[in-house]
Structure 1
């Protein structure tokens, strides 16, 4: 019982010590230190942001390229998809492929006009396999899952490109 009381006092004593030490430091000095740390934090984040600008384009290109094979799988699976709107789905998947290819071509041109870091593309191979399932429910579930993954990744690509566009405009860069 006595041991628990002593252990409970240690944090309290540490807090009292901190208050006693800090009370000897004027508030203006504490604010100066806080301001210096804040300035350094902002400077580091700005430097890191500028270093990653070309990386965002490289990430967008890599992510877009990684979806070439899965979009082919979605396209070939749409023909056998047990869904009442099958023809609309097929049409939309072909439209996704076309826009994906056009965006990829445009990003290739854009990367050629930027720093060498923007020109690198990482290989992100699709390892999901080509089997969408045998029964109707499995096909539909796997199709929807793969499509939801594409939607998530296309949102990332869109976000990366919007950040780059905002920074390139150099109008109100603090909003980017």
Structure 2
């Protein structure tokens, strides 16, 4: 219920733009500042849950910590050009940075569904892991909807020029199931490693985007 309330991002029009149905009393308008606050809060929670699950899987299953993040295969989102470092992020136009955020969220739809399916087979995580991977998957989809609403608000305020709905899905690498349990487990662990990294990028990009668009926050 708290997640649903946090993600009640409302409409994207500037005027009029009530956050309730026509005829309801107590309607209020949602500013671009509030919309950013809501998606940033959501992204922070998403990254926290992903980090906790990653740590749990590491503690239970990783046979050698030297394997951490050292797979020969890059993350499946490697084809999405993501700026690193504050100075580089600040050089990216707002519309392009918003596109990067949405492309990352889109790219994780199928891999997270795969992870949710696979993690249920591990005894130690049959319940808790299954629940958390489902929560992460659902949160990513809600997050995408929220960022799209922020983008529409930015467009209505003439901060960006184009609607960002319907971006094409990035081409993912082959994420088919492995033939042996050990290899499959490592693949799932690498997915969590990549998602934790990407979710951290998303929340940082959102914070920097908000600071750029709402400079009175002095962040």
Structure 1 unaligned blocks of 5 or more? 1-45
The 8 Å contact of residues 98 and 151 in structure 2, kept in 1 or not, is answered as yes
The answer as to whether partners of 2:103 and 2:170 remain within 8 angstroms in 1 is yes
Give a deviation string over 1:62-111, Cα, whole Å, max 9, x none: 1110111111111111222x341331111110010111011111111111
Residue in 1 that maps onto 2:104:
63
Which structure is larger by alpha-carbon Rg, 1 or 2? 1
Structure 2, unpaired ranges of 5+ = 1-86, 155-159
Within 5 Å, which residues of 2 pair with 1:3-152? 49=90, 52-80=93-121, 82-114=122-154, 115-117=160-162, 119=164, 121=167, 123-131=169-177, 133-152=178-197
User: By percentage of residues, which structure has more helix?
Assistant: 1
Structure 1 residues 51 and 60, CA gap change in structure 2 (3 angstroms) = closer
Inter-CA distance 85–51: structure 2 relative to 1 (3 Å threshold) = closer
TM-score normalised over the length of structure 1: 0.63
User: Whole-Å Cα distance in 1 between the matches of residues 106 and 193 of structure 2?
Assistant: 17
Cα distance, 1:156 vs structure 2: 1.1
